[in-house]
Amino acid sequence: MDSMAGSPGAAAARPIEPPADGSPTTTGASGVVPGRVRQRADACPGTVDAAPADDGLVARVRLPGGRISPAQLTELAAVAATLGTGSVDLTARANVQVRGLSADGVGELGRRLARAGLLPSPTHDRVRNIVASPFAGRAPGALVDGDELVTSLDAALCADPELASLSGRFQFAVDDGTLPVATARHDVALVAVAPGVVALRVAGVDTGLYGTSPHEAVTLATAAARAFVRASEASGAWHVRELPGGAEELVAALGGGPVRSHESDGASHGGPAPRTRQKRVAVGVLPQADGRLGISALVPLGRLTQAHLAVLAGFGAHGFRLRIAPWRGVVVGDVPEVEGREVGGREVGVREVGVREVVAALDAVGLPSDPGSPWLGVSACSGLGECRRAGADVRSLARDFVARRSHDDGTAVHFAACERGCGRPSGASLVLADGAFAETDAETDADADAATMPGVSPTRSEPPYPAHLERSSWTTG
């Protein structure tokens, strides 16, 4: 963006007041005061624990690692069309939401998605929060198979009755050594630090514990989660950073140490040298380790329409892989580097679909894969008509904002209809409908989109609206 002058926020910047509704007290970069006793259970929605909104009930379907098959996407689209508003929303943690449900509709949705394999354990539905690179299992230079780790961790989570009591906000991350998805905001992270070697971090702190096989790594992660369940009994903490003794308390309980904080990713523990890491967002046509390609496209304002869903599900006929990206995007993987042509391969005469056709098909329905797209870094809460707190159509404001700039400029801006700032990616500046803004590190539930969420307490705001809003850490949450 050349300048923010003329942007929706330029006219009437004012300080944002913290919410006075009992939302969690926040402080500094970590957000919540360690040791504070939670007064209520978290109200994070799940597949069948839907949350109320202005347009009906909202169901959130967890997709560990953003994994979803074309057949599952087809069923999700059908469920959204027949029971909900017709669209499917992406969250900043690569989960999906269906809105506009009735109470009966939630039950029907649960039954249909269970049959589709999207509700493998009703008791663990809300705790299957695992973020990973959407290129996991395909990324060049990966130190471990992140896809395999995600699958194993998900299965281990669902098999452990004790872990069903984790908060619906407790976050796992799996980092295969390429895209740095694991941050200090993830409660338990498995971070590959050398070929076949995975370090266990809790809230960004090294435990000094390593796994040298997927089984060992998953065993460490589930042990850390169990230790958290026990350590949080008194405080009701939702996150490791909220424990009275912080992450160090958990490290000690695990028998790990010495500890070392990793507030910024890219550094590795002890022996292996720090590696140059990719940015946290990867958009465009990207190479896979096997020579094929992955096309990473943005989903404007995180909303997949029926047209989007039909195109994405249709790629399944060509054997392409689908992943939801933790920046409200989609990745179509396993695409051959060919242009559309008649080929004489396994099936003579079949028109092979290659990268050009995939990019064109995505573009035609409004899913840009241009790495300079003006949609990069722009997000919005659900807003008017969908949330009872919303008094303005901030999604239209966000569209207007994008229309005024020709390309991505490295900024990150989240438009919200109230100071709660639901769905704000960490590092993104918050812009309200009346022009107020805040640049804040305070805690935000990046998945939240309904008034049932606790909200954000911006720690700083300073008029006038800044000309340059640096996207310092476009993280997953």
Minimum distance, C-beta of residue 91 to ligand SF4, in the bound complex (Å): 12
Minimum distance, C-beta of residue 299 to ligand SF4, in the bound complex (Å): 18
Residue 247 or 390: the one with the smaller Cβ distance to ligand SF4 is: 390
Query: What residues make contact with ligand SF4 under the rule CB under 6 A?
Result: 381-383, 387, 389-390, 416-418, 420-422, 449, 451
Minimum distance, C-beta of residue 477 to ligand SF4, in the bound complex (Å): 15
Token readout for 206 is 């090294």
Residue corresponding to tokens 């804040």: 440
Residue 189 or 397: the one with the smaller Cβ distance to ligand SF4 is: 397
CA contacts within 13 A on the Cβ side of 432? 23
Cα angle value 244/207/194 (rounded, 5°): 150
Cα angle value 375/379/384 (rounded, 5°): 125
For strand 26-27 and strand 31-32, is the pairing parallel, antiparallel, or unpaired? antiparallel
Minimum distance, C-beta of residue 386 to ligand SF4, in the bound complex (Å): 7
Give residue 221's Cα distance to chain centre: 19
Minimum distance, C-beta of residue 416 to ligand SF4, in the bound complex (Å): 4
Residue 124 or 395: the one with the smaller Cβ distance to ligand SF4 is: 395
DSSP 317-363: GGT-EEEEETTTEEEEEEE-S--SEE--SSSTT-EE--HHHHHHHHH
Rounded CA gap, 273 and 175, in Å? 16
- Identity (one letter) of the amino acid at 20? A
Residue 158 or 453: the one with the smaller Cβ distance to ligand SF4 is: 453
Minimum distance, C-beta of residue 302 to ligand SF4, in the bound complex (Å): 12
Minimum distance, C-beta of residue 281 to ligand SF4, in the bound complex (Å): 22
Residue 169 near residue 445 (C-beta atoms within 8 A): yes
Residue 422 or 428: the one with the smaller Cβ distance to ligand SF4 is: 422
Rounded CA gap, 450 and 430, in Å? 17
Residue 63 or 451: the one with the smaller Cβ distance to ligand SF4 is: 451
Supply the angle between the helices 246-254 and 214-231 in degrees, to the nearest 10.
120
Residue 13 or 390: the one with the smaller Cβ distance to ligand SF4 is: 390
